[in-house]
Amino acid sequence: MENSYRFFENKDCKYFPCHKGLADFNCLFCYCPMYRLEHCPGNPRYFEKNGRRIKDCSGCTFPHDPEHYDTIMQILREA
């Protein structure tokens, strides 16, 4: 894919790719804008630590899949 307003791939990042399993890896949402949402379309895990519920998105590739751009933008409009 070519870099655009919908897609950006930063192969120079020392963490690239931060998740495995995608042919086209979108770095546009490097920090997931849906992290703060209780119910997001990704697949986070939750665990308890020191009495707090922690959201772990380390296994989630949802924001990095170029096909999910429109879905993410719609969720952000509604949030």
The full set of domain ranges for the chain reads 1-78
- Written as one string, the DSSP assignment of 9-37 is --TTSTT-SSSSS-SS---TTSS-TTTT-
What percentage of the chain exceeds 70 in pLDDT?
100
CB 63 within 8 A of CB 42: yes
Q: What is the pLDDT of residues 14-40, one digit of tens each?
A: 999 888 888 899 999 999 999 999 889
Cα separation, 57 vs 60, whole angstroms: 5
What pLDDT was estimated at residue 19? Answer: 86
Q: What is the pLDDT of residues 49-66, one digit of tens each?
A: 999 999 999 899 999 999
Stretch 40-48: mean pLDDT: 94
Helix, strand, coil fractions of the chain, as percent rounded to 5: 20, 15, 65
What pLDDT was estimated at residue 60? Answer: 93
